[in-house]
A and B are shown apart, each in its own frame.
Chain A
């Protein structure tokens, strides 16, 4: 197993959908790179909104792409960073699994909407940590409970190569090596039916048809023979559990609320220590509300003002009650996503000084 670099720090952004996670993570990555750090920004958000801001196209998906960005900061005007739009297909190809022929099932599942995004993402993240190329990796994660799927991905990989399961295939593995058959799905079937798996596969066959079972066994074999490449991703969990350098940003938003979901994420992501967790309340308009002079307002406007004030109050009460570290980010008044990033970069500059 690979050891991790002491150098790379990971900053993880998570939260429910629509709170501005991607925009915050992007602005953070650009800000850090303007400080002279070597940065990689990874987004595994399936809707790939990052591309709109960073001018990345879908055809770049999966590849590390060097992005130049004008920061509009006084300290450094143009900065460079690496960015990746996660692509399960690309990560899978890069894994370079050894097999006799391409397995159709695996190929289909690794398509962008094939449902393997979370698992492939964790493999990619670990690969990037191992590359030791970056000072900081900024990670934008899937929304809400899919963030937990992402964290659970290591367990899923672990379970997939579960002991009992692995033993059966180890047994096959030996037979394969000694008989020098290599990959031969038809013969594999013969071996499968002669063991305890027979019954299970028969049930599977009743539901899915025989052809699938053959292809499926072949897929399992391909995976098993490349087990190390998957299991390598398990070290990400160890990375989080060890005393390593990471920071978790739970992103909430004033207008969105959904505060119970944030709590749920915090409760379930037990890998993270509370000292390394902070809440960022995005899209706040508190400063602007404070400027309102309510004396000249009519009743309807006062009701609306009350509504917004209450939103702000609820989030800040919640944050101070449940989290030690929290900070508010003012909502950008810009309409274009790119200008919103500029505004947030300035907020990060202040954040780091605090």
Chain B
């Protein structure tokens, strides 16, 4: 049984998007029904189409409108409500409310379709924390009402370890790995227990005649060694020396096959 929701997080520039796409591709090739979710960043439609990865075409705004429509039992009223300066200002000053509704939207889709798997390309560290923290904060704020019932349902889903697999991407640098470790503790404290750290982009070669590369390899080794010792790195994908994004993603997909 595969997990239902893959949450891919990590510091900026650690390869979250490439990894999410490679993972989506691998799962698709294995015959699963997969959808890639870009969360709140813009979807690179062309890239996704060339890779033939199905994706969620929704935004925070659209998702909120749909949600409110569902709750008020009228899409027309929801559209009007969302356009009023009052609600508009409310959602823009409380970005975490929108991101919580969007996360809830994905979970709802998963509940409705038991065959579906979603790969969530989450925002970078701090904003990933806000996204998860929001469910707790708003539970505390709302206390009662239908929204709290929905938050409970979200938590029920997220806290079942067979549902969620969370993968934190990291580069072979001290700052990146340290941040990954902190994020892992955070995830676990929020009930996402099935959390692993992926070391991405490390140089596979042991040695090189290229002097600058040799220095890079040594420096990386030194850093990674300590984190491996502390069992902080769960699996690794080595650096792919290619400039074409689609080639990189396909190559990554192949590398993933053995490790995940």
Contacts and interface: CB of A to CB of B under 8 A. Distances in A.
Contacts of A212: 141-145
Interface string A238-273: 000000000000000100101000000000000000
Interface string B128-165: 01101110010011111111100000000000000000
A84 to B, nearest CB: 16
B68 interface: yes
Contacts, number: 177
A86 to B, nearest CB: 11
A207 interface: yes
A206 B73 CA distance: 10
B137 A114 contact: yes
Interface in A11-44: 16-19
Contact of B209 (A45, A215, A301): A301
B219 interface: yes
A52 B178 contact: yes
A62 interface: no
A47 to B, nearest CB: 5
B175 A165 contact: no
A124 B210 CA distance: 48
Interface stretch (A133-141, A172-180, A291-299): A291-299
A104 B144 CA distance: 15
A90 to B, nearest CB: 16
A297 B68 CA distance: 63
Interface residues of A, number: 69
A159 interface: yes
A13 to B, nearest CB: 14
A146 B137 contact: no
Nearest to B176: A18
Interface string B30-59: 000000000001000000000000000000
Contacts of A354: none
A155 B16 CA distance: 30
Interface string A154-174: 001101101011000000000
A47 B183 CA distance: 9
A47 B126 contact: yes
A164 B85 contact: yes
Contacts of B143: 209, 211-212
Contact of B127 (A46, A105, A288): A46
A307 B11 contact: no
Contacts of A305: 210
Interface in B145-199: 145-148, 171, 174-176, 178-179, 182
B84 interface: yes
Contacts of A335: 174, 219, 222-223
Nearest to A256: B13
- For chain A, what secondary structure do more than half of its interface residues adopt (helix, strand, loop), or is it mixed? helix
A96 interface: no
A314 B126 CA distance: 30
Given A46-B126, A108-B141, A301-B208, A207 B86 contact: no
Given A298-B209, A335-B222, A159 B96 contact: no
A309 to B, nearest CB: 11
A115 B72 contact: no
A144 B179 CA distance: 18
B150 to A, nearest CB: 9
B96 to A, nearest CB: 3
Given A46-B129, A109-B94, A164-B85, A307 B243 contact: yes
B72 A16 contact: no
Contacts of B125: 46-47
Contacts of A205: 145
Contacts of A297: 209-210
Nearest to B68: A207
Contacts of A319: none
Contact of A19 (B13, B85, B141, B211): B13
A148 B85 CA distance: 21
B127 A146 contact: yes
Contact of B126 (A117, A159, A298, A311): A117
Given A116-B93, A258-B13, A298-B209, 5 more contacts: A105-B141, A200-B81, A205-B145, A292-B210, A296-B209
Interface of A: 16-19, 45-47, 49, 52, 104-105, 108-109, 111, 113-117, 119, 142-146, 149, 156-157, 159-160, 162, 164-165, 197, 200, 203, 205-212, 215, 253, 256, 258, 285, 288-289, 291-292, 296-298, 301, 303-305, 307-308, 310-311, 314, 333, 335-337
25 contacts: A17-B11, A17-B12, A47-B179, A47-B182, A104-B140, A115-B134, A117-B126, A119-B93, A142-B126, A143-B12, A143-B124, A144-B124, A157-B93, A200-B81, A200-B87, A209-B148, A210-B145, A212-B143, A292-B210, A301-B213, A304-B208, A307-B241, A307-B243, A311-B243, A337-B175
6 closest residue pairs by CB, A with B:
A17-B12, A18-B13, A46-B126, A209-B145, A115-B96, A113-B133
